[in-house]
Amino acid sequence: MHKSIYCTKVLGAKSIDHARWGSLLAGLLKLPVLFLMVYPGLMAKVVFPDLETPDTVFPTLVSELLPSGLKGLVLAGLMAAIMSSIDSTLHSASTLITLDFVQKLKPQLTTVQLTKIGKFVTLLFMIISILWVPVVASFETLFMYLQSALAYLVPPVVAVFILGLFWPGATNKGALWGMVGGHIAAILTLFFVSQGFESLHFLEIAALLTLFAMILIFIISNFDPHKITLEQRNYIWTRENLKIIESKLPTKIWWQDYR
């Protein structure tokens, strides 16, 4: 769902080149993260050594060090960024459920009916998000929650993506049950950890869940008689496909080659 947010924005580009440039610019904006996020946190540790909760570093820096006018600008920018992220996430979640599940199960539905269902799904996700707040608050820091959540949710998706992109033997059924089995294993692992069982580091859990999902996809795909079609093979990464793509694109100087 998270990557669907970026896909939605990229697909709005005027051309493939514009989509590539926009993606590269978005990646470039990740580089200053060290200076915009890490360094202020380190400085806050020195300036405000008595802070009990790391999550209060940013609001403390803003309230204690910035003048009144600049505080308003920072707050406005923060609210705009939060609203942009929330509306993109809700839109992607609604689109995912409506088009990938509801429309395929009931193709006779009209556009108006699908729009109403999409609005209802958006409202449902908003309610779930509000009810999920106590779970987020139960973690020591927001960073630990984000990393732990990703460690449990992302591995099955990564396994499907990697094997689907590089292994010709992967099948639709293998991908489906790899996702289902991987997330069931993640939920069970999270349950046992919440009950006080000894837990591994979240990075180790992510690696084990990814490996489990890959093994599940491999086993089910080998027993699945419905192999991928010749057309679907074109979506698998090979050196030959890369050479074909490069031959169709204009030659550029190395520092201008955005491919």
CA distance 219 to 240: 28
Question: CB–CB of 228/163 below 8 Å?
Answer: no
| pLDDT in the model for residue 248 | 64
What own/partner pairs with CB < 8 Å and gap ≥ 24 does 194-202 have? 202/147, 202/148, 202/151, 202/152
CA distance 18 to 32: 23
More confident residue, 179 or 136: 179
CA distance 88 to 3: 11
Looking from the CA of 182 toward its CB, the CA atoms found within 13 Å total 31
Burial of 217 (0-12, 13-18, 19+ CB in 10 A): buried
SS (H, E, C) 102-136: HHHHCCCCCHHHHHHHHHHHHHHHHHHHHHCHHHH
Position 1 confidence tier, pLDDT thresholds 50, 70, 90: very low
Percent of the chain with pLDDT over 70: 88
Question: CB–CB of 220/174 below 8 Å?
Answer: yes
Question: CB–CB of 84/63 below 8 Å?
Answer: no
Q: Each residue of 91-138: pLDDT tens digit?
A: 888 888 898 889 988 999 999 999 999 999 999 999 998 988 887 887
The two three-digit tokens of residue 258, written as one number: 């955005």
Residue-averaged pLDDT of the chain: 83
Q: Each residue of 30-80: pLDDT tens digit?
A: 888 777 778 888 888 888 888 877 778 888 888 888 888 899 998 899 899
Give Cα 69 distance to the centre of its chain.
35
Question: CB–CB of 170/221 below 8 Å?
Answer: yes
More confident residue, 219 or 42: 219
CA distance 185 to 251: 47
> Crossing angle for the helix pair 2-10 and 68-97, nearest 10 degrees?
90
CA distance 7 to 92: 9
Position 156 confidence tier, pLDDT thresholds 50, 70, 90: very high
